[in-house]
Amino acid sequence: MRYTPKEMLAKLVSFNTESWRSNLELIHFCRDYLAAHGVESTIVPSPDGEKANLYATVGPKVDGGVVLSGHTDVVPVEGQAWSSDPWTLTERDGKLYGRGSCDMKGFDAIALALVPEMLAAGLKRPVHIALSYDEEIGCVGARIMIEAMARAGLKPSAVIVGEPSMMQVVTGHKGGTRMRTTVRGHAVHSSRVDIGVPAVMVAGKLIAWHDDVMQENKAKAEAGNPFEPPYSTLHVGVVEGGTAVNITAEHCAFSHEVRVVPGDGADYVARYRARIAELEAPMKAIAPETGITLEITSQTPPLAPEKDGAAETLSRRLTGDNAGHVVAYGTEGGLFQAAGWSTVVCGPGDIAQAHQPDEFITLAQLEAGTAFVRALIADLTR
């Protein structure tokens, strides 16, 4: 069971692990592959048992190892126009096409394919391979996997999250809170809107609050902030509600998010709850059964640059990249950092390809990622 990184990528892409599906077939393949090389792995299942994380230690069971972290889920392909089968890795003009090839099975494939080289190298400190589920819907699986790794006594010196960064060393990203708001209105004929509670119109005020606060953030953005955009953003992505134009809506719900730059101390959830309270009082005065419910669906902390961080120092030494890089998208890196482990994001591929039809990673980037992990292996033998 030996694979080149390209062959391993083809194998991983062949598993349809859209986030709404189970990833167990892929996880069991990884477990069996590692076992065939004498590497024991630990499976950390989801609460319902339909999905799982996997982590494994290659090399001596000592402190000071390096975690190579990747997620196994991918975004759906439904509604996208693909030129080839998304679940069959297809090479064209120096590019490897397939769902997840860039985000982020390319990095996963490199870490797994190089296990035989890790074993043969005589590592003095270990490589911990960590593969999660449901990163795409809120970094769900990584939370329980990191807890399990910590309980098991793992004490790595660095975590490298291999999200596509073109092998640049990313030391900071925004944190994210995803929410769902449900407005319960009171339906009457729209000619008597004065005695009804139009859920859609109430929701509209809450939606407008998001843009108002974001514009405040934009106005006070600090010069020199490296993020794009250089302020915390608020966004509503999905709205559902209403039955007819001449009926005050009895129901409206919307999904929304806040993406917070590191160091922004504002409590946006508390501010939002205060706005909800302002709107609920007059609603209930008309119809007591009305109201507004807020559900926090996920919260992912930001990744902040570390002073003299071990992960940054290591990754810069291996890549030669000494420039400063931050990104607006979120990763599981903030969760590893919150656990007390020095963390950076550094992986092959261009984030611009993520979630797109005809997603690809270039052969050059796959080779660059492979060279990086080989350099890490050499570093851990010293």
Asked whether the predicted pLDDT for residue 16 surpasses 90, the reply is yes
Cα(169)–Cα(320) distance, integer angstroms: 9
**Residue of 151, 148, 127 whose CA lies nearest to 373:** 127
DSSP lists the bridge partners of residue 327 as 173
> Residue 179 has what pLDDT?
98
pLDDT at position 296 over 90 = yes
- Outline which parts of the chain fall under CATH 3.30.70.360: 175-300
pLDDT computed for residue 103 by the predictor: 97
Distance (Å) of CA 78 to CA 18, 55, 75, 86: 10, 30, 9, 11
pLDDT tens digit string along 173-221? Answer: 999 999 999 999 999 999 999 999 999 999 999 999 999 999 999 999 9
Q: What is the pLDDT of residues 114-161, one digit of tens each?
A: 999 999 999 999 999 999 999 999 999 999 999 999 999 999 999 999
CA distances from 237 to 87, 105, 148, 159, 174 (A): 28, 27, 33, 32, 18
Instruction: Report percent pLDDT > 90 for the chain.
Output: 97
Q: pTM, whole model, 2 decimals?
A: 0.91
Q: Are 13 and 3 in contact (CB under 8 A)?
A: no
Per-residue pLDDT of 70-80, as tens digits, reads 999 999 999 99
The phi, psi pair for 348, rounded to 5°, reads: -80, 150
- Mean residue pLDDT of the chain comes to 97
Name which residue leads in pLDDT, 1 or 187.
Answer: 187
Residues 12 and 6: their CA atoms lie apart, in Å, by 10
Q: Give the pLDDT of residue 328.
A: 84
User: What mean pLDDT comes out for the span 24-49?
Assistant: 98
Q: What is the pLDDT of residue 320?
A: 96
Model confidence pLDDT, tens digit, residues 216-239? 999 999 988 999 999 999 999 999
pLDDT digit string, tens, across residues 334-343: 999 999 999 9
| Residue limits of CATH 3.40.630.10 in the chain | 5-172+302-379
Confidence of residue 94 (pLDDT cuts 50, 70, 90): very high
Q: What are the C-alpha distances in Å from 240 to residues 169, 199, 204?
A: 40, 10, 11
Rounded to the nearest 10°, the torsion over CA 45, 51, 57, 61 is -10
Distance CA 217, CA 122 (A): 52
Please check the confidence at residue 329 and state whether its pLDDT lies above 90.
no
Residue 33, pLDDT score: 98
pLDDT at 304: 94
Domain 5-172+302-379: give its CATH code: 3.40.630.10
User: Could you tell me the fold of the domain covering 175-300?
Assistant: Alpha-Beta Plaits (3.30.70)
Res. 346 pLDDT band, cuts 50 70 90: very high
Residue 1 reports pLDDT greater than 90: no
